[in-house]
Structure 1
């Protein structure tokens, strides 16, 4: 099977060598911000788990239940994004999507599982403006959204879209006019409730939310406070109230500014996993928890 990208023909990846040929060139990687995500089925979309299977309608309940039932686990966790990160770590549905800055880590996850399906590594190119610090105001805003019911989030989205539409029509862009629209948006009782939620973790947060921030998705690297995040060179994409799926170009050139995906052949997953093991990428290194290391050792000597 071949994937046609402009005038270049890329074979489905059969080995580690094939994979390196399809990655962005070194010059591009140095100049650009690139994240990777590996998925064991190429048909899977880049969609956070909370947007799948109608989970969104229960997002606030999922959040509250975890905080109630496992309160001791979160005693020292103050930021909403860190709560979401921990929930994600244990497989709870969130609006986070795991990504990594290590292409080989992504390749491992593309090969792990779904042995009868082609896998995919998504090469995600981002702008500086789309990358935030874990404790930035924008990340605080978006990570507070799970505290709201689905109907409330729909209303917040509607308010944000209305405000953004008004701001976009201000030509030429006048700071005073834009500030007035943002102030009107922040005067709504529902937005005031969102501000209140943010201030629980950031008492000094200024009483201003830019409606455009609520409609975008952003990348952030969490605090490296657990071994899995460190081993996997982990980062997250947090989704706002805009698109529920991150779309990539099906046939983008590898050194263009477009995000794209690399297809991993189903028949070669096991071979590639063995090749990655030689490079220090394995279930044991990426999942340092005892039960995962035990699984790896059992599999190693049962083959």
Structure 2
């Protein structure tokens, strides 16, 4: 069987043509993600072995809140806090995506070298059914976000509990602890969690509460389990991919800049804007 290779993106117009043709069963992508290196797995940063934070996720979350409590005063839920932590570049169980494909293309054009060799980037289009799409205040999102409050041992216990039926699962001590965290946000939450719902990533529409999310048309995939159980395959999440050649990254980024997609527009903080201004004149050759 011949494996179909991802299309190659040579220009912005080329990319737009690919995007317009991306459909699955008549459905359009719910979001897009750009990565500067094709060799990376698509997963939240906290799950990556090289980051080394998964075993210490609970403490990392608390450390950041402890150091900067004022930054989190207005956050009502654990999901809100994870979004803010992601903004401050703490690895979390959230995966950044955008509903704007050109934003994803911008991130795919960032330079990346491996052993001195410039590497290709990629843009992925994500397809998920409506039942796997949620808003920021969803019960399912609350359950998944609050897994960040678990110790490494508790997460291992939860991984074992996923094998139980729904009734026994909700009686398990580690699940009762999860319920305790969720009820801080939602006092009337009932113990009726479907274990499958914690294992499958969900697309989340966040509050447009910070300038960067607005500028990047930002959204998230939230992950519960680090990996699916051996008996489960996620047949709902589908990806289409395009490759951005290393040799075309600079020109494509220049084209995006002419369309208003650049560091200053996507990162509205003043330090990012200043960096963009400096790079513009540095690269002008004057």
1:188 CA drift (Å) = 1.8
SS state of the match for residue 193, structure 2? coil
* Alpha carbons 1:33, 1:125 under 8 Å: kept: yes
Pair 1:32–1:10, CA change in 2 (3 A): closer
* Alpha carbons 2:32, 2:98 under 8 Å: kept: yes
1:140 aligns with 2:142: yes
1:70 aligns with 2:68: yes
Pair 1:231–1:194, CA change in 2 (3 A): same
Question: Number of residue pairs matched?
Answer: 271
Structure 1 residues 51-60 or 204-213, which shifts more?
204-213
* Alpha carbons 1:248, 1:261 under 8 Å: kept: no
Give the structure 2 partner of residue 25 of structure 1.
21
Partners of 2:188 and 2:43 in 1: CA distance: 33
SS state of the match for residue 259, structure 1? strand
Q: Which runs of 5+ in 2 are unaligned?
A: none
1:232 CA drift (Å) = 0.4
1:66 CA drift (Å) = 1.0
SS state of the match for residue 140, structure 2? helix
Pair 1:129–1:266, CA change in 2 (3 A): same
Give the structure 1 partner of residue 124 of structure 2.
122
Q: Which runs of 5+ in 1 are unaligned?
A: 164-181, 250-256
In the superposition, the TM-score normalised over structure 2's length comes to 0.88
1:103 CA drift (Å) = 0.5
* Alpha carbons 2:7, 2:241 under 8 Å: kept: no
Give the structure 2 partner of residue 265 of structure 1.
245
1:237 to 206, 212, 221: 221
* Alpha carbons 1:119, 1:264 under 8 Å: kept: yes
In the superposition, the TM-score normalised over structure 1's length comes to 0.83
Give the structure 2 partner of residue 285 of structure 1.
265
1:275 aligns with 2:259: no
Pair 1:192–1:258, CA change in 2 (3 A): closer
Deviations 1:55-107 (A, max 9, x none): 21011111111111111111111110010000001110101110111100000
1:97 to 79, 95, 107: 95
* Alpha carbons 2:23, 2:29 under 8 Å: kept: no
Pair 1:142–1:258, CA change in 2 (3 A): closer
Partners of 2:180 and 2:7 in 1: CA distance: 52
